[in-house]
């Protein structure tokens, strides 16, 4: 009976996929939803490539899995991936469906699948990945993910016993996942910018998970990312199997050392979170048997997806689109820290409002008080325009973060926000936007560019 359900599900969902493709749709969700509806264990039954790499975690899973898939494709592998679709069960089912012939046999050499950490228990037991990458665990949506310890319990139950884990040794929240499983650890050795005390509001690894004593950090990169040990028992961060060192953001180079030797790599980005993404992909590729030189050469041909960070110049004014996932304090903290630390004078527009929530309810703004708006109080940020339905909440948060009142503008209508900026020469304008306001953000960007061009023309005249 189960086999018959599977065959019906396969053909019906394949037909749905073909019909959607004829209509010009991506077909990255609905066919999988149909398949799972008709056959709840479709993910277990459907044909899969001989090798499966699953990538999950709070941040970096899209960038890491895209890099990994790109290198594998450049190396001539037939790579199945869900980069165009969703990472929940229906998206993964759609992806696997796309990868099989009408008899249900896979046409690919390897699958690189991004997995939503909150949905892992519905996917991983049926998928049985060979390698499982966990990039990190941080706070995400308060409403969906609660706190990282909660997500860790999902992963603990969801990851199959035999799956080899690729874990971030600098993240003690995820590094302890499934301790009986085979594993390797990656991490970045001490950097010049590391500190000891936490300067962030979110600091979710304060206590020893073995004895409850307060952990002592040997160094800390941000939040709980770093290396720590317990002064009361023998608990400590795990040793690196893949260690990134000699990070040189001026020369854009780093070295990755493992038990078989060292590789020299070009940094794809100077932001620490993207260095972690690159190291994650390198670790997975090394585990898949690729040589350092080959990986380094292929990574130089790849790029980090630009939809999250896009810089355009209008004369001597740069307009930068910086995505910051809405309702995600960690994402905000990381991009605020990064942007505030860049050289030069800046003007900002904050429009990470969750418009979907606002349409039906009212956005839960608790995350604003987990997010380090304090980074925006630096003197190189001359003006901040808070805009959108929650403009007043952003304004209050900025003031409480120590941003001087004269630098804050509250403009409820997003399209009016660019009018409140000062387009001085040699200024960078940053537009921080969320995932469900992309079209609106690009309209704001276009107006910003237009006003910047007018300002430059005025100066020239």
377 contributes a contact to another protein by CB under 8 A:
no
Helix (H, G, I), strand (E, B) or coil at 69: helix
Q: How far is the CB of 119 from another protein (least distance, A)?
A: 12
Measured CA to CA, the distance from residue 375 to residue 239 in angstroms comes to 32
Is residue 361 a contact residue for another protein (CB under 8 A)?
yes
- Where do the DSSP E strands lie in 249-291? 253-258, 261-266
Q: Any contact of residue 101 with another protein (CB under 8 A)?
A: no
Among 214, 264, 293, 422, binds another protein (CB under 8 A): 214
Distances (CA, A) of 378 to 12, 62, 241, 344: 57, 31, 38, 11
Nearer to another protein, 30 or 399 (CB): 399
CB of 20 vs another protein, minimal distance in Å: 29
Q: Is 116 in the site for another protein (CB under 8 A)?
A: no
Of positions 399, 420, 424, 453, contacts another protein by CB under 8 A: 399
Number of residues in contact with another protein under rule CB under 8 A: 33
Identified binder of another protein from the candidate list 12, 142, 191, 424, rule CB under 8 A: 142
Candidates 12, 30, 75, 203; binder of another protein (CB under 8 A) is: 203
Does residue 18 touch another protein according to CB under 8 A? Answer: no
Q: Which of 98, 348, 351, 368 binds another protein (CB under 8 A)?
A: 368
Using DSSP's 3-state secondary structure scheme, residue 371 falls into coil
Return the number of the residue (143 or 438) whose C-beta is nearest another protein. 143
**Cα–Cα distance measured from residue 419 to residue 421, given in angstroms and rounded to the nearest whole number:** 6
Cβ 194 to another protein, closest distance in Å? 22
Q: Minimum CB separation from another protein for residue 139, in Å?
A: 8
**360 belongs to the binding site for another protein (CB under 8 A):** yes
Closest CA relative to residue 285, chosen from 62, 11, 25, 75: 75
Q: Which stretch binds another protein (CB under 8 A): 80-88, 249-257, 365-373, 413-421?
A: 365-373
CA dist., res. 170 & res. 168, Å (int): 5
Interaction between residue 413 and another protein (CB under 8 A):
no
The window from 93-101, 317-325, 355-363, 441-449 that contacts another protein (CB under 8 A) reads 355-363
Q: Is 395 in the site for another protein (CB under 8 A)?
A: yes
Q: Of these, 20, 201, 249, 296, which contacts another protein (CB under 8 A)?
A: 201
| 210 in contact with another protein (CB under 8 A) | no
Query: Least distance (Å) from another protein to the CB of residue 405?
Result: 8
Q: Does 199 bind another protein (CB under 8 A)?
A: no
Q: List Cβ neighbours of 456 (8 Å cut-off, separation of 6 or more).
A: 314, 315, 316, 317, 423, 425
The encoded tokens of residue 162 equal 């035999």
Site string for another protein, 69-88 (x = CB under 8 A): --------------------
Beta strands per DSSP E along 84-190: 110-114, 131-134, 164-168, 183-188
Rule CB under 8 A: is residue 119 a binding residue for another protein? no
Per the CB < 8 A criterion, the answer to whether 419 and 387 are in contact is no
Binding of another protein by 206 (CB under 8 A): yes
Q: Interface with another protein includes 422 (CB under 8 A)?
A: no
Considering beta carbons, is residue 107 or 206 the nearer one to another protein? 206
Instruction: By CB under 8 A, tell whether 176 contacts another protein.
Output: no
Burial classification of residue 112, based on how many CB atoms lie within 10 Å of its CB (0-12 exposed, 13-18 middle, 19 or more buried): buried
> Binding residue for another protein (CB under 8 A) from 26, 193, 313, 364?
364
Strand partners, 348: 384, 430
Strand ranges for 38-182 from DSSP E:
51-56, 79-81, 110-114, 131-134, 164-168
Q: Kindly state whether residue 396 participates in binding another protein, applying the rule CB under 8 A.
A: yes
Nearer to another protein, 279 or 352 (CB): 352
Interface with another protein (CB under 8 A), residue from 367, 375, 423, 430 = 367
- 370 near another protein, judged by CB under 8 A: yes
The length of the chain in residues reads: 461
Q: Residue 346, SS3? A: strand
Residues 6 or more apart whose Cβ sits within 8 Å of residue 416: 387
Residue 279 CA to residue 302 CA, distance in Å, equals: 14
Using CB under 8 A as the binding rule, whether residue 259 contacts another protein is answered as no
Restricting to residues 146-175, which ones interact with another protein according to CB under 8 A? 146-147, 149-150, 153
Residue 205 CA to chain centroid, in angstroms?
Answer: 20
365 binds another protein (CB under 8 A): yes
Based on the shown chain and the rule CB under 8 A, indicate whether residue 196 belongs to the binding site for another protein: no
Question: Three-state SS for 385?
Answer: strand
Cβ neighbour number for residue 245 with a 10 Å cutoff: 15
The DSSP-derived string for 3-68 is HHHHHHHHHHHHHHHHHHHHTT---SSHHHHHHHHH-TTHHHHS---SEEEEEESSSSHHHHHHHH
Contact residues for another protein (CB under 8 A)?
Answer: 142-144, 146-147, 149-150, 153, 201-204, 206-207, 212, 214, 357, 360-362, 364-370, 392-393, 395-396, 399-400
């Amino acid at each position: 009976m189960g086999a018959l359900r599977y065959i019906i599900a396969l053909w019906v969902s394949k037909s749905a996929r073909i019909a959607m493709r004829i209509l010009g749709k991506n077909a990255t969700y609905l066919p999988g939803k149909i398949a799972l509806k008709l056959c709840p264990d479709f993910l277990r039954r459907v044909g899969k490539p001989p090798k499966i790499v699953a990538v999950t975690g709070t941040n970096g899973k899209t960038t890491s899995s895209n890099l990994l898939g790109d290198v594998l494709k450049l190396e001539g592998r037939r790579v199945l991936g869900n980069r165009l679709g969703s990472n929940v069960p229906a998206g993964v089912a759609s992806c696997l469906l796309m990868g099989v012939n009408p008899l249900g046999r896979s046409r690919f050499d390897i699958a690189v699948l991004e997995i939503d950490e909150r949905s892992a228990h519905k996917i991983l037991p049926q998928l049985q990945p060979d390698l499982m990458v966990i990039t990190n665990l941080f706070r995400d949506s308060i409403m969906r993910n609660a706190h990282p310890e909660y997500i860790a319990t999902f992963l603990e139950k969801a990851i199959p016993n035999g799956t080899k884990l690729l874990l971030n040794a600098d993240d003690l929240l995820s590094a302890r996942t499934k301790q009986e499983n085979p594993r390797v650890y990656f991490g970045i050795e001490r950097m010049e910018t590391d500190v000891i005390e936490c300067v962030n509001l979110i600091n979710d690894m304060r206590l020893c998970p073995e004895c409850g004593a307060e952990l002592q950090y040997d160094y800390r990169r941000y939040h709980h990312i770093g290396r720590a040990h317990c002064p009361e028992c023998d608990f400590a961060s795990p040793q690196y199997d893949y260690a990134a060192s000699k990070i040189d953001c001026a020369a854009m180079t780093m070295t990755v050392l493992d038990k078989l030797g060292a590789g020299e790599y070009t940094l794809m980005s100077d932001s620490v979170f993207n260095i972690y993404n690159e190291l994650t992909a390198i670790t997975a590729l090394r585990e898949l048997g690729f040589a350092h030189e080959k990986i380094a050469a292929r990574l130089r041909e790849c790029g980090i997806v630009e939809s999250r960070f896009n810089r355009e110049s209008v004369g001597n004014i740069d307009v930068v689109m910086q995505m910051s996932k809405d309702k995600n304090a960690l994402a905000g903290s990381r991009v605020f820290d990064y942007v505030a630390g860049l050289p030069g004078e800046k003007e900002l527009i904050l429009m990470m409002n969750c418009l979907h929530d606002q349409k039906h309810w009212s956005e839960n703004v608790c995350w604003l008080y987990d997010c380090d708006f304090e980074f925006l109080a630096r003197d190189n940020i001359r003006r901040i325009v808070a805009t959108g339905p929650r403009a007043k909440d952003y304004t209050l948060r900025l003031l409480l973060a120590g941003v001087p009142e004269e630098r804050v503008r509250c403009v409820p209508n997003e399209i009016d926000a660019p009018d409140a900026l000062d387009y001085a020469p040699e200024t960078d304008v940053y537009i921080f936007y969320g995932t469900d306001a992309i079209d609106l953000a690009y309209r704001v960007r276009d107006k910003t560019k237009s006003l910047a061009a007018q300002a430059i023309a005025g100066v020239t005249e």
